[in-house]
A and B are shown apart, each in its own frame.
Chain A
Amino acid sequence: MQRIGVFVCWCGSNIAATVDVQAVADALAKEPGVVFATNYQYMCSQTGQDMIQEKIKELGLTGVVICSCSPRMHEATFRRTCEKAGLNPYMVEIANIREQVSWVHKDKAVGTEKAIILGRAAIAKVQLNTPLIAGESPVTKRALVIGGGIAGIQTALDIADAGFPVDIVETKPTIGGKMAQLDKTFPTLDCAACILTPKMVDAGQNDNIRILSYSEVEEVKGFVGNFEVKIRRKARYVKEDLCTGCGLCMEKCPQKKVPNEFNMGLDNRTAIYIPFAQAVPKVATIDANYCLMLKNGKCGLCSRNCTAGAIDYKQQDEFIEEKYGAIVVATGFNPISLDKFDEFAYSKSPDVVSSLEFERLMNAAGPTGGTLLRPSDRTHPHTIVFVQCVGSRCDASAEKGKEYCSKICCMYTAKHAMLTREKYPDTEVYVFYIDVRTPGKSFDEFYRRAVEQYNVHYIKGMVGKVVPEGGKLKVQASDLLDNRQIHIDADMVVLAAAIEPDKSARPLATKLTASMDTNDFFTEAHPKLRPVESPTAGVFLSGTCQGPKDIPETVAQAGAAASKVIGLLVKDKLIGNPCVAKPNELMCNGCSSCEKVCPYGAITYEDKPFRGPNRTTLIRRVACVNPAVCQGCGACTVACPSGAMDLQGFSNRQIMAEVDAICK
């Protein structure tokens, strides 16, 4: 029989006003096993905690029940309190008599009665509690960053600077991500390449950073501190260690008609290519879909011309397996497909472009060398219409677009408008908007400059239709403030397409057992208090994979994720959660039911010897739970037909004892 102490908290008047705390303590004092029961104004105060500790020592308590606020509030506090007094922290149970009694029931008699019953249930549970000792697991002091955009680069740099090795896995041939495609950045209008490429070089040269470009995460096993990741290094048909990035192969390659994804398909590249001049690693890659040699076995020009002998047409995908202590997801975003937005004639006219395409058209390293030309006839556009919120803030019932605000479009559209007017003052620029959202440092000033200094025509209203006609784009729109219809003959229309998480995010989330919201953004462990951690321990979030954000926010979050990773990697070992599943080997049938429902792969099977009748030894297949992997959900306990699998801290008998106490 346990020696249980019951401590009833008043929480000032929060509990005491609707629960007769004295009566609760008196009633619970009569329960079997209870050797002491009291009440106090604030149990969580230092005085309250001191009293609990004193009583544990004085009366030799083996279990403690605290009737107070929700365990979600102070369970950890009281466990620590008791641990300091020498009691196993898992011998503490909380009866929630504030959130679930005093705050929801006004009648004092009713509240008091319920508080007593909840107290009894907690006592009944403590009777069956056993001291639990948390397991320890070592920490592999290496981090994996998935995604090599600005978020991934910044996170990797920060982790590397703290002295820990980091691998960046990037699916493209180079790191850099979306930021590498941008022209200027708001609100300062400094050039994206000028601030990004030095960071890319830093990452490439940092001894602690290994860049695994043209690679994908294939499989993730393990758990916080001990991940084992299998990475596919896609065949690029070029030996990375030999290629000098001289570019001769690109000159010689006869296949020059490959749409250039870096320039959003606005021009072409060769089948062997380096995405852009500042690529890191600066290594060529052969596009197997277009390479004549790989497709037909006829060509081999690049190989013949490569002085370094780096070309290898026989290269195969390779797999590397590495251990990591922490994983950072930085998979980023993409603009949505505009296929469903036919009203803007995106698929009908090449002069209707997305903002990212416009970005490339403005970029000095872009397909037009930085001169703004219409894609259709390469003439200078004189009237440009920008349409905001294309696919953002859509109605849930509409079958296209996203419900959320993509956050960055207002600012980059202002940037585009301003830059156009700056470079080509003869161009008329119209921006159609629902709202202009500019909360951010120097953001609203930036937008007002576009309107006031650069005379960009901002019109509140939506574009209804764009019709290509006679080399012009007939834009029909409404001005909501003037309540009139507008017709503009534009030369170009730029659509601020909503952004969405990269398509690789969903399968990656499954591999990581990390959760996602309905929009496929990764969910954070807590939306306010743990914004860069995933609910899956050891998985962290950086950048737009968690939600739309601009570059400053992304970098801030990347740094925050890095600091969380560093905080994890400096530890030599991790203390686990002891409330995990535990099989009773004597009863286990080895039937694999539990394994089938375990979301973490925490259950394996072993053939173990058992004593059989007449001094024989029987080998039986039994379940084993890895306590460091098990998260304690309990799915296995119900799948187990023999009841061999139980959950520590929430055992079958404990829950039934609670049921009994409540139903009595």
Chain B
Amino acid sequence: MQVKENFTPTIVAFCCNWCSYAGADLSGNNRLEYPANVKIIRIPCSCRLNPMFILRAFQRGADGVILCGCHPGDCHYTTGNYYARRRMTLLFSMLDYLGIEKERTRVEWVSAAEGAKFAQTMNEFVEAVTALGENKRLEDLRCKQ
């Protein structure tokens, strides 16, 4: 796969309101940098993430999609991330089955106290997606400028 020069991937990060969004805020509080191409969408819980949203992001030109939620066992709604875990496992496996690079999708559990983990996760994910290059296999050309 060819890597464009100065390629900066578009990354959509879905963060649950209670843990990971707060974790992202904490990395801000602690001034821990991560690439600006990570854009966070706040959802109430990781179980709110519909696979349609992930596909939509890829359609519209995202190069990577990451879901962050509370650690299993710590869900604000007690069970949400358990459902999210199964759903995402199955979806990622299906995307892989279709030959779509599995490294473009990821789930990380980030607590409200893990500002450093959030920043580190984002740095690693952006690096991994940058190495993969542009998302070609699951995009809608009409949506690209």
Contacts and interface: CB of A to CB of B under 8 A. Distances in A.
Q: Do the two chains belong together in a single complex? A: yes
Interface of A: 70-72, 96, 98-101, 103-107, 110-111, 113-114, 117-118, 121, 513, 515, 518, 535, 579, 597, 599-600, 631-635, 637-639, 647, 650, 652, 655-656, 658-660, 662-664
Given A631-B77, A659-B53, A121 B36 contact: no
B3 interface: no
B106 interface: no
Contacts of A118: 39
Contacts, number: 138
Nearest to A638: B50
A88 to B, nearest CB: 19
B42 interface: yes
B36 A110 contact: yes
Nearest to A634: B48
B29 A99 contact: yes
User: How would you classify the secondary structure of chain A's contact residues: helix, strand, loop or mixed?
Assistant: helix
A110 B37 CA distance: 9
Given A106-B33, A659-B57, A662-B10, 16 more contacts: A103-B29, A110-B36, A513-B78, A515-B75, A633-B76, A635-B45, A635-B48, A635-B79, A635-B80, A638-B87, A655-B41, A659-B12, A659-B41, A660-B60, A663-B61, A663-B62
Nearest to A516: B73
B138 to A, nearest CB: 12
Interface stretch (B20-28, B94-102, B125-133): B20-28
A535 B44 contact: no
A655 B10 CA distance: 17
A118 B12 CA distance: 11
Given A104-B34, A105-B33, A633-B47, A121 B39 contact: yes
A346 B139 CA distance: 67
Nearest to B10: A663
B90 to A, nearest CB: 12
Given A106-B33, A114-B39, A660-B56, A635 B50 contact: no
Q: Considering the complex of A and B, which 7 residue pairs feature the smallest CB-CB distances, nearest first?
A: A99-B28, A634-B48, A663-B60, A633-B77, A103-B28, A635-B47, A99-B25
A104 B24 CA distance: 10
26 contacts: A70-B28, A71-B42, A98-B28, A103-B29, A104-B31, A104-B32, A104-B34, A515-B74, A518-B73, A579-B44, A632-B44, A633-B76, A634-B43, A635-B48, A637-B50, A638-B47, A638-B48, A647-B48, A656-B53, A659-B56, A662-B10, A662-B39, A663-B12, A663-B57, A663-B60, A664-B61
A535 B74 CA distance: 11
A518 B71 CA distance: 12
Contacts of B77: 599-600, 631, 633, 635
Contact of A652 (B27, B50, B76, B119): B50
B141 interface: no
B143 interface: yes
Contacts of B87: 638
Contacts of B10: 662-663
B116 interface: no
A70 B28 CA distance: 10
Contacts of A652: 50, 52-53
Contacts of B41: 121, 655, 658-659, 662
B107 interface: no
A96 B25 contact: yes
A100 B24 contact: yes
Contacts of A634: 43-45, 47-48, 80
A253 to B, nearest CB: 46
Nearest to B26: A99
B36 A111 contact: yes
Contacts of B12: 659, 662-663
Interface residues on chain B, size class: 35 or more
A383 B62 CA distance: 74
B36 A114 contact: yes
Given A659-B56, A663-B10, A96 B74 contact: no
A659 B56 CA distance: 7
A650 B56 contact: no
Contacts of B32: 104
A637 B78 CA distance: 17
Contacts of A656: 52-53, 56
A113 B37 CA distance: 10
A663 B10 CA distance: 7
Given A515-B74, A633-B45, A113 B50 contact: no
Given A518-B73, A597-B47, A656-B56, A633 B25 contact: no
B27 to A, nearest CB: 6
A593 to B, nearest CB: 11
A633 B44 contact: yes
Nearest to A655: B53
Contacts of A631: 77
Contact of B25 (A72, A658, A664): A72
Nearest to A71: B42
A535 B76 contact: yes
Contacts of A71: 42
A528 to B, nearest CB: 12
A664 B60 contact: yes
A59 to B, nearest CB: 27
B48 A599 contact: no
A620 B113 CA distance: 47
A597 B83 contact: yes
Contacts of B36: 101, 104-105, 107, 110-111, 113-114
Contacts of A515: 74-76, 78
Given A635-B77, A659-B53, A662-B10, A117 B48 contact: no
Contact of B40 (A96, A106, A647): A96
B113 to A, nearest CB: 10
